[in-house]
Chain A
């Protein structure tokens, strides 16, 4: 039996879209939603493994409202073999989603999990760590190159001190970052076939979890610019003026 790879994906606002707020919540209903680019890198890596080892199965997982089906269909069109949607309208925190993903991985007997190193919307960077923690698997974050031989995954990733080479025996959780690879486009024949691929729905309730998140309200940050220009003809006078301005008016420095 080949490898089983779980590619966790998220549906997010298109980066070109402006954010709208309705009833104190971000309202995505009238905006264009896309598959998070960060997750596309993970999916691409999974598909490359399948290209090299054709018996591999790539399963895409999304946790969220019914509309996430679109993002999963995109993942199927790009090449995932089948998809799972854990459906919920409840806004979830990443730790809870990580718990769901871990439970799915156990049930699916996954060998390898890919997810984005950060998320285009919440940007928590805790998602991969949460999955790894629940499964007690090693995690490699912010990967920049990957190569799988048998069940040994080698590669490089970014750490605070620079770049680190690693080697890990599966199972493992891998998080991606921009530039890890160049994600492929869905092909026209695969788009037509995506509808026929299996998309299984599960209810969030069946996982016995509750969101730890309580939404108070969302608002759009308005940046007011003061539009003050310091005359730079006399350098030292301009510096003096700038320091005074930063100290007394904006209180940026003490």
Chain B
């Protein structure tokens, strides 16, 4: 638990690099990408040179082998430039982590070098039109046929779907035994029968595509099964623990950027003969925003440390962190908009984009209601 109250020099440096990259390569273009619905793959791929293509992947295949705290520092830092770009990288790293953790040696060697170099991007397909929070009820089927599996079904809200060269991890049913009948498969872009729905029109997250992943009798070699049949749900949930930390970190970074913009605004803008920053009501509000973000950050670090240590309460702590940090992040961003007055509502100030982007963090990677369910279950089961 050495991480709780201060960062090591290495962790500080990791945070600095992510923030510097965000300030130099991401922030200046974030609004433009948002407006153009443009995923800047060249910029995203350039993070591979920094080692961000395989943050948790072991070093033998080009990974950076960092722990979860290192990860949240990176995603918070990148999100100060744009939460959407940061979140896209988070999903990519989740895919790489699954292969590194649950894949066999030949899968690791086949996929990890090109994921670490970002020659191929990773996407994760769990949710379906008929099953969101109730992921165990998914109906996409994988039927064994000789030495192949044949996948059919539709996956909903898939971030990064349709990006050329993407490697998909698809959760599909191999047996009718509820969540225990789910298995994880690697599906490569270009597979016959694989297609995509139209890009969804969304409130935020404009810089990355969200589409349906449509599997019509997609035949894949049986070697593309990750782990064993029936292990998919466990893999999916394990991956989401880390994904939840990262999406929380993306909220933290976005909200911190909104607070910083607000500090500049209130010291610049005058009303009734003084700076906005000289009004006590606004000072108190700024203090609350900063305090809540710092509490959120401190707790996120604790949850990250628990996941790295694989402590028994890690899943609960990650759920708490996801719920709390994404709620705080959204409220702080929304307050930042309010403090900007009418200007906050204008695109060019960059605040309304952050509000739009952070709103969905309360929904994806498990809704915040599901997070409460995870926490309350552990409380009630603890009584037994």
Contact = CB atoms under 8 A, between A and B. Distances in A.
Contacts of B14: 188, 191
B263 interface: no
A39 B21 CA distance: 18
B50 A187 contact: yes
A73 B8 CA distance: 12
A137 interface: no
A192 interface: yes
A185 B50 contact: yes
Interface residues of B, number: 19
Interface in A173-190: 184-189
B9 A73 contact: yes
A111 to B, nearest CB: 28
B139 to A, nearest CB: 39
Contact of A187 (B9, B49, B74): B49
From A77, A185, A187, A194, residue with most partner B Cβ within 10 Å: A185
B64 A195 contact: no
Interface in B95-109: none
Q: What class of interface size applies to chain A in its complex with B? A: 10 to 19
Interface in B1-20: 9-10, 13-14, 16-17, 20
Q: Is the interface of A mostly helix, strand, loop or mixed?
A: helix
B52 A188 contact: yes
B13 A74 contact: yes
B51 interface: yes
B70 interface: yes
Q: Is the interface of B mostly helix, strand, loop or mixed?
A: helix
Contacts of B364: none
B49 A195 contact: no
Given A185-B21, A188-B55, A188-B70, A73 B13 contact: yes
A17 interface: no
Interface in A55-105: 70, 73-74, 77
B66 interface: yes
B348 interface: no
Interface string A135-151: 00000000000000000
Contact of A192 (B16, B21, B52, B66): B66
Contacts of A187: 49-51, 64
B72 to A, nearest CB: 14
A91 B17 CA distance: 29
A70 B16 CA distance: 12
Interface of A: 70, 73-74, 77, 184-189, 191-192, 194-195
15 contacts: A73-B13, A74-B16, A188-B17, A188-B50, A188-B51, A188-B66, A188-B70, A188-B74, A189-B64, A191-B13, A191-B17, A192-B65, A192-B66, A194-B10, A195-B10
